């Protein structure tokens, strides 16, 4: 009834929007999650073999220099952060139920795994490993910066980023990013939560196994299963990722 699109003529607007998905421009960003000393060998929250990801990540950067924007996330906690066992005087790895009244006087509940103090603002453990290539144009997003809320995801907290929003989503939108390639630490916490947020926000997500490590085998397996079910594309190594995405990457320039 009076719908101008119901006649037989080609509507130029509709026609333009109806491009096959394969012709849509894709733009990839590399997200390097928390490559900080406290998660590396000898750190306070050491992840097994974490240092082994540095070489492959640098290689990925060099090969795809012309094709990838890069951001880093940085776990950046105050000394009295809610995720620290020391804050609650309880043993490490306790899972604690937290009730918190937030600034908007909303009460929130979450289960918090208690960690050894790590990535404290200003400490060496908080800084990025020196062997990882960091270039001028790289963007850094800090998270877990407030005492009363945890943000495993580089986008922000687990409440759809309502209390801490790092700005990563807005930055990706400005850059017209469609695809996020995730590497870094740890697979079962910050990488997994970043991936879930990214999927929720409508990005395509890629994960390269040679460039990630997890805190524990069982949680890492669960995280990989969850991500895979949610549509995250998982590759063995850098070559596998490049081979599978070569055409799309080349379109982006």
Binding site for ligand VGL (CB under 6 A): 34, 39, 75, 83, 115, 185-186, 189-190
Residue 46 or 237: the one with the smaller Cβ distance to ligand VGL is 46
Residue 43 φ then ψ, to 5°: -80, 170
Could you tell me the two tokens for 186? Answer: 């740890």
Could you tell me the two tokens for 118? Answer: 């790590």
Residue 186 interacting partner from ligand VGL, Zn ion, none (CB closer than 5 to 8 Å by kind): ligand VGL
Residue 190 interacting partner from ligand VGL, Zn ion, none (CB closer than 5 to 8 Å by kind): ligand VGL
Residue 75 or 248: the one with the smaller Cβ distance to Zn ion is 75
User: CA neighbours within 13 Å on the CB side: how many for 74?
Assistant: 24
Cβ at position 146, least distance to ligand VGL in Å: 14
Residue 75 or 197: the one with the smaller Cβ distance to ligand VGL is 75
Cβ at position 164, least distance to Zn ion in Å: 12
Using DSSP's 3-state secondary structure scheme, residue 56 falls into: helix
Catalytic center residues: 34, 143, 190
Among candidate residues 165, 168, 164, 148, the one with its CA nearest the CA of residue 78: 148
Among candidate residues 148, 143, 142, the one with its CA nearest the CA of residue 103: 148
Interatomic CA distance for residues 227 and 206, integer angstroms:
10
Residues 71-130 that bind Zn ion (CB under 5 A): 75
Can you give the binding site for Zn ion, defined by CB under 5 A? 75
């Amino acid at each position: 009834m009076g719908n101008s699109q119901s006649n037989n003529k080609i509507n130029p607007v509709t026609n333009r929007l109806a491009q096959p998905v394969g012709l849509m421009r894709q733009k990839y960003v590399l997200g390097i999650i928390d490559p900080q000393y406290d998660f590396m060998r000898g750190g306070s929250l050491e992840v097994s073999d974490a240092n082994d990801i540095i070489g492959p990540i640098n290689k990925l950067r060099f090969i795809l220099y012309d094709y990838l924007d890069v951001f880093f996330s940085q776990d950046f906690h105050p000394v009295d952060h809610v995720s620290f066992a020391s804050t609650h005087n309880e043993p490490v790895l306790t899972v604690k139920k937290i009730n918190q009244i937030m600034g908007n006087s909303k009460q929130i509940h979450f289960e918090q795994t208690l960690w050894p103090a790590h990535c404290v603002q200003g400490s060496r453990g908080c800084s990025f490993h020196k062997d990882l290539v960091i270039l001028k144009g790289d963007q850094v997003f800090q998270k877990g910066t407030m005492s009363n809320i945890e943000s495993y995801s580089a986008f922000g907290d687990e409440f759809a980023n309502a209390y801490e929003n790092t700005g990563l989503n807005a930055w990706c939108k400005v850059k017209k990013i469609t695809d996020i390639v995730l590497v870094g630490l740890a697979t079962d916490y910050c990488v997994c939560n970043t991936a879930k947020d990214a999927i929720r926000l409508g990005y395509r997500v890629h994960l390269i196994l040679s460039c990630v490590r997890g805190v524990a085998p069982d949680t890492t397996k669960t995280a990989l299963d969850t991500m895979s079910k949610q549509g995250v594309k998982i590759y063995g190594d850098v070559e596998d990722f490049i081979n599978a995405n070569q055409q799309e990457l080349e379109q982006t320039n």
